[in-house]
Structure 1
Amino acid sequence: MNTNRFIMRLTILLFLIFLQTNSIVSQTSLDEIDLDNGKFKVGFQHYTSYDSTRTYSRVFDYTNKKIERPILVSIWYPTEQNVDDAEPLTVLDYLEILKEEEEWEHLPNDQILNWFYYQNTPANQRLLTEKTTAYANVEFVKGKFPTVIYRPSFQASSIENFALCEYLASHGFVVISSPSRGTETRWFSSNNAKEIETQARDTEFLIKEAGKLSFVDYEKIALMGFSFGGLSNIIVQNRNDNIKAIVSLDGTERYQYESLEQSPFFDAEKIDVPYAHMAQKEIPETVLKEDKVDSELNTVFQLYDSIVNSKVHRLRFHNLTHSYFSTLGILFADRDKRQDKSDSEIMESYKWAAMYTLNFLEATLNKDKKALGFMENSPENNGVGKKLITQKIKQPQKQVFAFQDFNQLALNQNYENLVQLYDSIAEKHPSLEIPEGNLNVLGLQLVFNPETSLQGINVFLLATKLYPNSSNLYDSLAEGYLFMGDKAKAVENFEKSLKLNPQSQNALHRLQQLKK
C-alpha cells in the first residue's frame, strides 16, 4: 500500500528534482528555525466545507458513491486572547490533520511516521511532541487583516508550511489553506491541465470563504503557493481582479511554463500585480546526470521573461533545495548528501525565506515603507550572509494607455460615470491623453444613434469637462440635445459655444432657428 501511494506521487516530471537518494537523516527542531514572531498570539481553526458545484469520491472507500467536493480549510489568524492557561498545538496535532486530509482518519498515531514517508526515528518521534506557536479555536482579534490564500505542493496537506503560516499570523495576517487534491479523488490524474484548473477552483472557493470572515480585509488578498501550488495561483490571479500580490515558493510555474499555456485563462500580460518568486539552489551537475534532469531547469524561467506589466522580485536561495521551502520538508525530509547543506544552514535560509515573504506582503498589501525598503535593498544590506541569496528585480514596462483602451472600459460600463472612470485611469497613468477630436467623433457617432444617444451625451459631458474652452465640443453637445428634442439644453450649449467662438456660424444659425 505504502509503495503504491509513493509511486502515485511521482507522476509529475518535477518530482525527479525532489527525490532524496543518497540520503541522510535530518536532526532538526522547530526552535532551530528561530522565527521572530510578531505582537499577536496565533489562533488556528480547521474545518470542512463543501463545494456543491463539484463531485468527489473517497478513493479508499472502494465504492461508486459520489459526494459534494469536500474542502478542508485550515486558518491561522491573529488573536489577543489570553492563552496563559492554554496548551499550544504540537507537531503531532498538525499531522493528525494530515491523516484526515489523506483520508486515513483512523490511522493510529504511532503509525504516522511509517505511513507518510517519514522515517520512524527517535529524532522524528521527538519532533512530534514539539510545541508550535498556534492555539486551537481561540477568539479572533477585532479588526480586519490582510489575507493570504496558501496553495500547497503536489497532493500535499494544508498544513505543510505551518511554521510560515503561524509566523505571518503573528504579524497580523490571516492565512487560509486547503489540501491539494485531485479532481475526482484524493489523487491527481495524469492530466496536468485539469488538475491545475481544479486547484485554481479550490483557491477561488477559499477566496469566497475568506469573504465570509469578519476579520478578513477583502481588499487586501494575496496568493502564496509552494511548488505545484504556484502554477494554479497564476491562473487564479489572471481571472480574479481582487488579488493584489503573488508569493511563489519555488513554484512549478518556473519549470512548467507549457502547463500554464494549456490553460485558456492564462495570459502573462494579465499578471499586473507584484510577484515574488523564491527559487531553490542550482541543481549540481551530479544530480542532473544521475536523476536525468534537464539542465535548463537551472537557467530557464520563461514566465519571468514574459511578465511585462508588474514588478517582479526573483530570489535564489543557495542553501535550499526544493523540499525545504516547506515546514514539513525542513523538519522531516531526509537530506541528500549530494547537494543539501547542513541542517543549520537549511534552517537559516528557511528563516530568510519567511522574512522575505513577510516583508513582500507588508510592502504590497500594507504599503509599509520599511518593508518596501527591505525588498529594494540588496540581500547583503538586509543582513543576509554572503552567497546565501541573490536577487533580481524587474520593473514593469511603461504602459501606454491608448484612447481605444479607455473607450473599451467606457463601453463596458455603458458610458456611465465617465468622469470617475477617467480619474481612476489618470491616477494609474498620469501621462494619459484623451484627444479632443476622438471624443468629438465618438460622441457624435453615439448621439445620432437613437439607441445610444444618452451615451453620446455622457461622452460630450466628459469632453467638455476635459476641454472647457472648446467651442466645437459645446456645439456638438448642443447638436446632441437638439437631436434628442431637448431644445432648452441645445440653446444653452449653443450659447456656450458662441461665447467661446463668436465666429461660430453653426451656433449662430442654430440659435436663430431655435429662437424664432
Structure 2
Amino acid sequence: MALLALVLLAQVPPAQADPPISQPAGPHAVGLRVIQPAAPREAGLPAQVLIWYPADTSVSDAPPLRYGDLMATRLSALRTDLSATQLREGRAQQQASLMRRLGVSGQAVLDAPLQARSQAVPAPGRFPLVVYAAGVGGPADENADLFEYLASHGYVVVSSVGMGADGREVEETLAHVEPQVATLQALIRQAPQWTAADPQRVAVMGWSWGGMSNLFAAARDPQIGAIISLDGTREPALTRQIDVQRLTAPWLYVSRSPDTIAQIQRSGIDTTFSLLNAAQYAEVTQLIVYPMQHADFVSRRMREASDAGYGEYSRAEVRQAFGMVALYVRHFLDAHLRQQASSLEFLARKPVANGAVPHSLRIDIRPPAKP
C-alpha cells in the first residue's frame, strides 16, 4: 500500500503545472505566431514579436505547444541568428535552471500543455488589438496565460521584450521610457499587417514599468482606446511628465495590496503627486487585489516560482485572485472596445457579486471630468 501511495503521489502534477488562470476559456481556439521582422531597427520594431490570436476551432492540425516551447522563444528574443545547436543548448540550460529551483517538478512545468497552437489557422473576422509592454527586462511571454485567455475570447495580443535606451537594461529615466513607447507605437502600426487585428479598436496593457510606459503612449496616440496597467510603476518623477490633458482613454489600474503609511514613509515615496488623481479627463477604474504582490501580476511567476516564494497568501489563493484579474481585464476590454452593456454592468457590481472571494478585491470607478 505504501508503494502504491508513492506511485500515485508521483503521478499528481505539481501546483506549478496548473494553468494560472482558473477562469474558463472563451469560444475560440488560440494560435501563436513568432514574428522576426526584416530590418527591425529601421522599422522601430524589436527583433522578435509574439502574437496570440483567435484561431479556427474546426482546424486542429497545428502542433500543440508545451510551456518549454514558450520559454524557448526567450532565447531568440534579441538574437535571431542562433544555430540549432545553440538553441538546444539554451533549452537545456533553461531546463537545468528550472530543475534547480523546483526539483523534479520542473520537468512537469516544462511539459505542461498550453492552449495555444503554433501557426494555427486564424479564425475568420477582425478582432480588437491589445499591445503589451513587458516589465523591466521581462520576456514577451511573461503573461502568456493572460494572453491566451484574451485570445480565446476574441482578442489579438501582441508582445515583445522590454528594453531601455540603446538596447540596455531599463533605468528609471525618461530616456529609458521612450524606447518602449516607440516599440508600442510601431507594433500598433504593424500588427494589422501580421494578423486580423482591427486598427480601430486598440488597447495597451503592461506590467510594472510597462504599465507606466503604455500611459505615455496613450497620451500621444489617439488610436489607443483603452489602457490597462497591471501594478504599473507610479514613479512621480516620470509620471508627472505625462500630458494629462491628452490622457483621455479609459484606464484600468490593477494594484496589489496597498502599503501602509509606515511602509510608504520608510521607502521615501513621493506622495505629493498621483497620476491616478491627476488623470482627471480619463475614466479611471482602480481594482485593488489584496492577495497579490507586485510579482504576482505575471503568469510566468505562477508557473516558475516555488511554493516558498509565497507568503501570507498561498499559491492557490493568488491563483484565484489572478483569475479574477483576468476576468476584470476581459470585461474592461469588452466594455470599452466592444461597448458591451453586460460588461459595463459587470464592472459596476461589487467584486463579490462577480465571484470574488469576500474581501479579496475592491473596485473604485471615477468618471472623467468635463474638459
TM norm structure 1: 0.63
Match for residue 361 of structure 1? 333
The answer to whether the aligner puts 1:275 opposite 2:251 as a matched pair is yes
Superposed CA RMSD: 2.7
Q: 1:259 aligns with which of 238, 245, 253?
A: 238
The answer to whether the aligner puts 1:30 opposite 2:18 as a matched pair is yes
C-alpha deviation, 1:149, in angstroms: 0.4
Instruction: Output the CA distance in 2 between the equivalents of 1:117 and 1:188.
Output: 27
C-alpha deviation, 1:282, in angstroms: 2.9
Match for residue 151 of structure 2? 169
Amino acid at match of 1:318: Y
Match for residue 54 of structure 2? 78
C-alpha change, 1:326 and 1:191, in structure 2 (3 Å) is closer
C-alpha change, 1:190 and 1:321, in structure 2 (3 Å) is closer
Any gaps of 5 or more consecutive residues in structure 2? 1-13
C-alpha deviation, 1:80, in angstroms: 1.1
Match for residue 72 of structure 2? 96
Which one has the largest radius of gyration?
Answer: 1
Listed as ranges, the matches of 1:92-491 within 5 Å are 92-101=68-77, 103=79, 106=87, 107-114=89-96, 119-185=101-167, 187-188=168-169, 190=171, 192-213=173-194, 215-252=196-233, 254=234, 256-261=235-240, 263=241, 266-283=242-259, 288=263, 294=267, 296=269, 302-334=274-306, 339-399=311-371
Instruction: Output the CA distance in 2 between the equivalents of 1:278 and 1:320.
Output: 10
Instruction: Output the CA distance in 2 between the equivalents of 1:359 and 1:269.
Output: 26
Contact 2:239 2:275 in 1 (8 A): no
Instruction: Output the CA distance in 1 between the equivalents of 2:253 and 2:70.
Output: 27
- Percent identity (aligned): 26
Contact 1:51 1:205 in 2 (8 A): no
C-alpha change, 1:328 and 1:31, in structure 2 (3 Å) is closer
C-alpha change, 1:285 and 1:132, in structure 2 (3 Å) is farther
C-alpha deviation, 1:300, in angstroms: 7.8
The answer to whether the aligner puts 1:41 opposite 2:29 as a matched pair is yes
Amino acid at match of 1:215: A
Instruction: Output the CA distance in 1 between the equivalents of 2:367 and 2:114.
Output: 38
Instruction: Output the CA distance in 1 between the equivalents of 2:22 and 2:63.
Output: 20
C-alpha deviation, 1:389, in angstroms: 0.3
- The structure showing larger relative contact order (alpha-carbon pairs under 8 Å, at least 6 residues apart) is 2
1:323 match: secondary structure: helix
Amino acid at match of 2:164: G
C-alpha deviation, 1:83, in angstroms: 4.5
Contact 1:147 1:175 in 2 (8 A): yes
Amino acid at match of 1:351: G
1:180 match: secondary structure: coil
1:76 match: secondary structure: strand
Amino acid at match of 1:314: Q
Any gaps of 5 or more consecutive residues in structure 1? 1-25, 55-67, 400-516
C-alpha change, 1:69 and 1:169, in structure 2 (3 Å) is closer
TM norm structure 2: 0.86
Contact 1:284 1:339 in 2 (8 A): no
2:253 match: secondary structure: strand
Contact 1:80 1:141 in 2 (8 A): yes
Match for residue 408 of structure 1? none
1:246 match: secondary structure: strand
Contact 1:89 1:136 in 2 (8 A): yes
C-alpha change, 1:196 and 1:154, in structure 2 (3 Å) is same
C-alpha change, 1:117 and 1:155, in structure 2 (3 Å) is farther
